[in-house]
A = this chain, B = another copy of it.
Amino acid sequence: MMKLSELGEFGLIDVIQRIAEKSRNPRYDSWRQLLVGIGDDAAAWQSGNYIQLATTDTLVQDIHFDLSVISWRELGWKAMAVNLSDIAAMGGIPEYALISLALPGELEVEDISAFCQGMIELADKFEVAIAGGNLASSPNVVITITVTGRSKDNRILKRSTAIPGEQIAVTGFLGLSAAGLKMLQEKAKLDDETINILRQAHLRPTPRIKEGQLLLQQGVNAAIDISDGLVADLDHLCQASKVNAKIEIDKVPVHPSVKANFPDYQELALSGGEEYELVFTADKVTMEKVKRALDCPVSVIGEITDENLPARVTLVNSKGNTVTPTKAGWEHFKNEVPKTKVA
């Protein structure tokens, strides 16, 4: 007998994936048309001449969010953002959202209204319609949003398509969300502009929907969004693609506000979760096209390799020496201590 806390989140995903795979039946239309099952950012299946996408994410009170630092309106926005980011990581067009709320009866109606306002504010930005959901009473707040979407043409980004020799790049700057949480938890005194940037990054992230679609258009095939942390999510991508990755830590684009105010900025950028930036891989020529096509910064931070390295993701400093990350990414069941996801 083994407990979930011993096996960990990713071990349990493997167990469930094996059970689901065993039930795969090629005589069923559903299984035959399934293109991406358990183990990517979103599920994908063929539906006529486009690909249908669906993703679901749960936020649990005191595990993913702390109501003493996040407002209900921000929570609504964030719960939607987390799901839209999974559609972004597939390069898809989000379409519909189903909202499942498990809530204590003593909550105020006004707070839930504010939650819905925040959620819809972001949904509207990306033309997503709220199509339905479910309400249930519960001792603690548990929010599950499911977002469906579709491919623009008949192609999607996947985790499993990275190829040795490709460059690895990220959109935007890293470390912001983790620094934002740290600031909120430690009530750090920073200048107003920094507070604003960090708060926004942690509580009101904007998923890279347009960027995901542009990546596909420019010929990129492999991507993942950063929800568990750069190194952890790149590890997921490498595992799915059966390749290794080498990252030059000095090339990781740490945001100036993080660098200036947090001595542990490198750790925040490498291991901080909930960034909702995209990590992707592409050959040199495609990468140049991507840099021109995207409005946001695109930083090449390393390369995909089939070299036999000690870890799937190896970090090297400017001198070419291997460095060991001081902190792993987030893993549910194993990390039970922190009050919110990015500790």
Enumerate chain B residues within 8 angstroms of A132, measured Cβ to Cβ: 36-40, 42-43, 54-56
Is B3's CB under 8 angstroms from A108's CB?
Answer: yes
Q: In the complex, what distance in Å separates the CA atom of A45 from the CA atom of B95?
A: 10
Judging by beta carbons under 8 Å apart, are A146 and B102 in contact?
no
Which residues of A (24-42) have their CB < 8 Å from a CB of B? Answer: 24-25, 28-31, 34, 36-40, 42
**Residues of B close to A69: CB separation below 8 A:** none
Contact-size category for A: 35 or more
Which residues of chain A (288-335) have a CB below 8 Å from chain B? Answer: 332-335
A221 within 8 A of B: no
- Whether A67 is near chain B, meaning CB under 8 Å from some CB there, is no
- Report A121 CB to chain B, min CB distance, Å: 9
Does A279 sit within 8 A of B, measured CB to CB?
A: no
Q: Is the CB of B112 within 8 A of A4?
A: yes
Majority SS at the chain A contact face: mixed
Contact A60 B333 (CB under 8 A): no
Q: Which residues of B contact A37 (CB under 8 A)?
A: 129-132
- Which residue of B19, B31, B138 is within 8 Å of A63 (Cβ)? B138
A25 / chain B contacts, CB cutoff of 8 Å: 124, 127
- Which of A7-15, A181-189, A235-243, A260-268 contacts its partner? A7-15
* Residues in B whose Cβ lies below 8 Å from that of A57: 100, 134
A120 with B20: CB separation less than 8 A: yes
Measured CA separation A246–B300 after assembly (Å) = 69
Decide: A123 and B58 in contact? CB cutoff 8 A: no
* A103-B4, A135-B12, A136-B63 given; A19·B116 CB < 8 A: yes
> Which residues in B have their C-beta under 8 angstroms from that of A142?
58, 60, 102, 138, 142, 144
Task: Tell yes or no: A256 within 8 A of B by CB.
Answer: no
Known A-B contacts A37-B132, A38-B133, A140-B139; the reply to A55 vs B98 at CB < 8 A is yes
Q: How far is the CB of A56 from chain B (nearest CB, A)?
A: 4
**Interface membership of A217, Cβ < 8 A:** no
> What are 7 A-B contacts defined by CB distance under 8 Å?
A3-B109, A4-B104, A19-B120, A43-B96, A54-B148, A56-B100, A63-B136
Q: Which 4 A-B pairs have the closest CB atoms?
A: A5-B105, A43-B131, A43-B132, A30-B129
